[in-house]
């Protein structure tokens, strides 16, 4: 379903970001600088069926640097090198305004080089934008997504310190993929894996595919999930 350019937390070399394709469109979920570096080292045409990219979309969860630090440079690269249109989708109007300031005012991107919108406009994939809590400094500006990709429901937490907003989507039946951030270190701003392990196992028992992402310590996380059906988010490269 989703594939990842990185599944690490903010202090890791490869920070968290995912993508999927739909026909000739590539849809990224967040884009840290580590993912930008991977994108320009590969032939991105190989990601699409026709080997001809129509539009690159970037769905943003929140404005921490480990999620948005590569987007402005990606805008420049898509415009000047690839000549591929790029659409940045913010989770809310407020985050859209923040991103306009970041790309236009701070990064100096040419307004002709990108289109900025809100994710609710991308109804073909985005069924719900899910508000959550993460850090006090970004209160009201952190989100996850309920996506429809083909016939599958994809629930993506983004950075969060609670699973409560997502539980309504994790019911029985259907083809459900749940991508949740998880930390081995306890903190007030992320999901502490030992606390949620039983809940996540109950989801896999119901047939929901559960993937861990935004990991701070893969070795410790592996020890916790090795006898379960919970998986690590798959790395593309």
Tokens of 154: 């994809």
Q: Are strands 17-22 and 3-6 parallel, antiparallel or unpaired?
A: antiparallel
Pick the binder of Zn ion from 64, 96, 141, 190 (CB under 5 A): 64
Tokens of 220: 């410790």
- For the CA atoms of 236, 10, 37, 26, what is the dihedral angle to 10 degrees? 50
CB of 151 to Zn ion, least distance (A): 29
Q: Which helix (H) or strand (E) covers residue 211, if one does?
A: strand 209-213
- For every residue of 134-200, DSSP letters joined together read --GGGTT-EEEEEEEETTEEEEE--S-S-SGGGGGG--SSS-EEEEEE-BSS--SSS-BHHHHHHHH
Tokens of 87: 């659409």
Contact call for residues 155 and 177 (beta carbons, < 8 A): yes
Residues numbered 180-209 forming contacts with Zn ion, rule: CB under 5 A = none
Binding piece for Zn ion, criterion CB under 5 A, among 7-15, 50-58, 79-87, 99-107: 7-15
Residues numbered 154-183 forming contacts with Zn ion, rule: CB under 5 A = 159
CB of 230 to Zn ion, least distance (A): 20
CB of 92 to Zn ion, least distance (A): 15
Q: Does 7 bind Zn ion (CB under 5 A)?
A: no
Q: CA-CA distance, 81 to 68, in Å (whole number)?
A: 20
CB of 135 to Zn ion, least distance (A): 6
Q: Does 30 bind Zn ion (CB under 5 A)?
A: no
Binding piece for Zn ion, criterion CB under 5 A, among 66-74, 105-113, 121-129, 149-157: 66-74
Report the residue number, 98 or 159, with the smaller CB distance to Zn ion: 159
Report the residue number, 34 or 76, with the smaller CB distance to Zn ion: 34
CB of 137 to Zn ion, least distance (A): 10
Q: Which residues bind to Zn ion, rule: CB under 5 A?
A: 10, 64, 66, 159
């Amino acid at each position: 379903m989703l594939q990842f350019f990185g599944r690490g937390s903010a202090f890791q070399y490869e920070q968290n970001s995912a993508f999927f394709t739909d026909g000739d469109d590539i849809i990224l979920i967040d884009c840290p600088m580590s993912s930008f570096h991977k994108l320009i080292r590969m032939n991105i045409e190989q990601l699409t069926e026709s080997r001809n990219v129509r539009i690159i979309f970037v769905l943003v969860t929140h404005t921490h640097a480990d999620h948005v630090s590569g987007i402005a440079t990606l805008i420049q690269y898509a415009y000047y090198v690839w000549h591929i249109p790029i659409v940045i989708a913010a989770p809310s109007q407020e985050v859209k305004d923040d991103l306009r300031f970041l790309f236009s005012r701070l990064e100096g991107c040419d307004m002709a080089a990108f289109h900025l919108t809100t994710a609710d406009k991308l109804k073909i994939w985005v069924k719900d934008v899910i508000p959550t809590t993460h850090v006090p400094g970004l209160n009201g500006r952190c989100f996850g997504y309920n996506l429809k990709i083909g016939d599958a429901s994809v629930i993506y937490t983004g950075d969060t310190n609670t699973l409560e907003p997502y539980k309504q989507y994790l019911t029985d039946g259907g083809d459900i993929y749940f991508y949740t951030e998880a930390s081995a270190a306890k903190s007030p701003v992320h999901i502490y894996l030992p606390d949620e392990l039983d809940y996540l196992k109950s989801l896999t028992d119901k047939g929901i595919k559960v993937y861990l992402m935004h990991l701070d310590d893969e070795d410790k996380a592996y020890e916790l999930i090795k006898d379960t059906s919970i998986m690590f988010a798959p790395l593309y490269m």
